[in-house]
Structure 1
């Protein structure tokens, strides 16, 4: 079965390593549908509330705060939901031979690095809106998020590598 581009993206970002047979593909479809419906409802309600606010309080910082909160919901909330469901379905477990284990660990470290850099970049862009692009606070917090995200994702990935004989 040829995988769609969206499934390939989900496989990478949510660490889906298991076999996607018909049953698992349907389950991932349900997870994606639930995530989409939540985002659809959230976007509609949040934008309606924002549009109903008086024009006087819609300042630049208010708009930046709204964008920051939306990114938090999308990256944090929905991302954690999908990651949790993938773990629940055990699709993020990877079976490797003892010989292939070091290569799988290396791939987990690289995946964790990209994960950390992406979260750190988003964090930097969000905080730079408030503190400035050359602010030590924005840069420092982004580096902190990169390190935390990198280590936590790498640790989770390595924990889900199973050696088989």
Structure 2
């Protein structure tokens, strides 16, 4: 059975390594729908709140902070929810032979690097809007999140690789 592009994207973003049969695809669909509904409800409430603020409070730094909070909730919160649900369904477990284990670990390290770089760059760009692009704080937080994201995602991915004989 050939997978659609959407399923391939969901498999990568949700770190699904296991078999995605019809039942598992329905469960992943439920998780994705729950995440979408949360964001669908959160977005108008958050935007409505900002629109109700007086004009003198809507400074550039306040708007940048609002966008940063939305990124944290939208990417971080929803990502944690999806990761937790996919883990509970055991869809992110990967069974590999002893010979294929090093290659699976290498793929986990690469996935963790992409994950960490994405979070670090997004955080840096958001903080740089507030503190300046050459700010030591912005650069430091960005690099810190690259390292933390990389190591935490890699550890989680490697922890879900199961050797089978």
TM-score per shorter chain, which class?
over 0.9
The equivalent residue for 2:7 is 7
| Poorly superposed stretches of 4+, deviation over 4 Å | none
SS of equivalent residue, structure 2 residue 95:
strand
User: Which stretch shifts more, 5-14 or 126-135?
Assistant: 5-14
Map 1:1-165 to 2 at 5 A.
1-165=1-165
Unaligned runs of 5+ in 2: none
CA distance in 1, matches of 2:131, 2:56: 23
Q: What are the Cα deviations for residues 16-52 of structure 1, in whole angstroms up to 9, with x where unaligned?
A: 0011101000000000000000000000111111111
CA distance in 1, matches of 2:74, 2:119: 12
Q: TM-score, normalised by structure 1?
A: 0.97
CA distance in 2, matches of 1:23, 1:160: 21
CA distance in 2, matches of 1:2, 1:151: 32
Q: What are the Cα deviations for residues 126-150 of structure 1, in whole angstroms up to 9, with x where unaligned?
A: 1111110011111111111111110
Unaligned runs of 5+ in 1: none
Question: How big is the shift at 1:5?
Answer: 2.1
The alignment yields a C-alpha RMSD, in angstroms, of: 0.9
Q: TM-score, normalised by structure 2?
A: 0.97
Aligned residues: 165
